[in-house]
Structure 1
Amino acid sequence: MKPIFAKILDGKANDIYGLKVVDAPYFSTEFHFHEECQLTYTLESEGRRMIGDSIENFGSDELILVGSNLPHVWHNSIQYFSGVDQQSHARSVSVFIHPDKILDLFKEPDNIQRIKNFFQLAKRGMKFGDAIKNQLKELMLKVVSEGEEVGRLIGLLEILNLLCSTKDYEFLTSPGYTNNYQLKDNDRMDKILKYVFDNFNQEILLSAAAEMTNMNKQAFCRYFKNRTQKTFVSFVNEVRIGHACKLMAQSDQQISELAYACGFNNLSNFNKFFKLAKGITPKEYKRMLVVD
């Protein structure tokens, strides 16, 4: 799935920010990146998101920051596209901040360095804790509803001040992640990510994925790892493990049932890959959920 370069503020040279409100049956599944930092609060929806080399489930009441030129996509669960669940809906609010244009507003070196440091950290993507999330989402909703440009700009600066001050977040991508996607790439990765996200609970063959992109297996493996910085098998298993964690939190299914429901063909493989991904066994993870 190749991320497309998107110009959020194209044609508006003086704009330093942009706003986007989504209220639709499902989110767009286009994998893309852009120069602007994107702060997104999901009011209602669920599925899987990929940000850089991070693959996780997402749900309602989640606040995520995507840094400059960091590839990302929010992909809804299959029921959103099938129309089976008429109650499924996707609602979000996003604030886009252009790093260079924000920095041009400040003349004091100390202020510039503080903001520069934040924009550098943001390149790994951030997920915010509840305390700061509640403050930021209130400001975001206020900015979106604000009718005056001055009020929106003041709200934006308040948001930026909180972002630069808080330590209540976790990084999403690994420390060494870099964006290796190129604008000349075709839609190969688009096809692969959508295919895996929609079919992870079934058998997914490397040969089928390679054929889908018109490559042989060896070329496909090199291509996929260069773009995502992980092997195709690891990617598929991470998607499956993420779904298993979701099922464990929502139901009392036996671990063996969970394994097969997530696309693993035997319990041994499930246990092995789960521990590799989470550092603990499925039983330990389930026990931890009960304690919490």
Structure 2
Amino acid sequence: MKPVFAKILDGKTNDIYSLKVVDAPYFSTEFHFHEECQLTYTLESEGRRMVGDSIENFGSDELIFIGSNLPHVWHNSNQYFKAADSQPHARSVSIFIHPDKILDVFREPDNIQRIKNFFQLAKRGMKFGNELKTQLKELMLKVASQTEEIGRLIAVLEILNLLCSAKDYELLTSPGYTNNYQLKDNDRMDKILKYVFDNFNQEILLSTAAEMTNMNKQAFCRYFKKRTQKTFVAFVNEVRIGHACKLMAQSDQQISELAYSCGFNNLSNFNKFFKLAKGVTPKEYKKMLVVG
């Protein structure tokens, strides 16, 4: 899946922010990145979210901040694309903020450094805790509902102030992550990520993935690892483990049944890769959910 370089505020030289409201059967974006930072509140939807080298399930009432030039995509579960009517649904509000234009507004050294530090941290992607999320989503919905531009701008600046003071957050990408995607890349990665996200519960062959990108297996492995900073096998297993965690939280399915439904061909492999990804065994993880 190639991360497309998107120009959000292109041609709007005086705008420091942009608003996007999605109300559709499913999210239809490609894996992409852009100079603008992006704050997205998902009101309704579920699927898999990829931010840099982070792959996680996402659901309704989630707030994520994407830093400048950080590749990302929200990919809905299969049922969203197969639905004959308006259910299930995908609804979100996003605010795009251009870091350079914001820094031009605040010229005092102390203010600039505080905002610079936040934008630098945000290059790893951020997921916010409940208290801050409640404050931010109220302001975001206020921006979306405001009819006067001055009211919107005031709310955006309030959002920025909260973001720069944030202490309750989780960083999404690993500390050493860097964006190795280039604009000249074709749609190879786009095809592969969609293929894995849609078929992880079935057998996924390295040879098939390589053929989809018109590469031999060795070249594909090098290409994939350079861009995602993980092997193709590790990537597929990470997607499967994420789905397993979701199933554990939602059902009392036996771990052996759960492993096969996530695409693992035997319980031993499932236990091994689960512990590598989560640091605990599936049984221990399930107990933690009950306690929580």
Instruction: Indicate whether 1:66 and 2:66 are aligned.
Output: yes
TM-score by length of 2: 0.99
Instruction: Indicate whether 1:178 and 2:178 are aligned.
Output: yes
Alpha-carbon distance in 2 for matches of 1:85, 1:257: 31
Q: Which amino acid aligns with 2:101?
A: K
Per-residue displacement from partner, 1:216-243 (whole Å, max 9, x unpaired)?
A: 0000000000000000000000000000
Alpha-carbon distance in 2 for matches of 1:39, 1:61: 13
Structure 1 residues 268-277 or 25-34, which shifts more? Answer: 25-34
Partner of 1:232: 232
Q: Which amino acid aligns with 2:214?
A: N
Q: Which amino acid aligns with 2:43?
A: L
Alpha-carbon distance in 2 for matches of 1:144, 1:98: 18
- 1:31-180 counterparts in 2 under 5 A? 31-83=31-83, 86-180=86-180
Alpha-carbon distance in 1 for matches of 2:225, 2:116: 30
Alpha-carbon distance in 1 for matches of 2:88, 2:148: 33
Alpha-carbon distance in 1 for matches of 2:117, 2:62: 24
Q: How far off is 1:87 after superposition?
A: 2.0
Q: How far off is 1:29 after superposition?
A: 3.7
Alpha-carbon distance in 1 for matches of 2:200, 2:187: 20
Per-residue displacement from partner, 1:80-128 (whole Å, max 9, x unpaired)?
A: 0011675200000000000000000011100000000000000000000
Alpha-carbon distance in 1 for matches of 2:54, 2:270: 20
Partner of 1:265: 265
Alpha-carbon distance in 2 for matches of 1:196, 1:251: 23
TM-score by length of 1: 0.99
Alpha-carbon distance in 1 for matches of 2:106, 2:282: 50
Alpha-carbon distance in 1 for matches of 2:20, 2:96: 8
Q: How far off is 1:28 after superposition?
A: 1.2
- 1:211-226 counterparts in 2 under 5 A? 211-226=211-226
Alpha-carbon distance in 1 for matches of 2:39, 2:159: 10
Residues 84, 282 of structure 1: alpha-carbon distance in 2 compared, 3 angstrom cutoff = farther
* Sequence identity percentage: 88
Alpha-carbon distance in 1 for matches of 2:247, 2:85: 18
Contact 1:201 1:261 in 2 (8 A): yes
Q: Which amino acid aligns with 1:173?
A: T
Per-residue displacement from partner, 1:123-179 (whole Å, max 9, x unpaired)?
A: 000000000000000000001111111111111110000000011100000000000
Partner of 1:189: 189
Q: Which amino acid aligns with 2:3?
A: P
Gaps of 5+ in 2: none
**Secondary structure of 2:12's partner?**
coil
Per-residue displacement from partner, 1:161-202 (whole Å, max 9, x unpaired)?
A: 000001110000000000000000000000000000000000
Gaps of 5+ in 1: none
Partner of 2:198: 198
Q: Which amino acid aligns with 1:92?
A: S
Alpha-carbon distance in 2 for matches of 1:207, 1:263: 17
Alpha-carbon distance in 1 for matches of 2:289, 2:21: 34
Aligned residues: 292
Contact 1:51 1:173 in 2 (8 A): yes
**Secondary structure of 1:185's partner?**
coil
**Secondary structure of 2:265's partner?**
coil
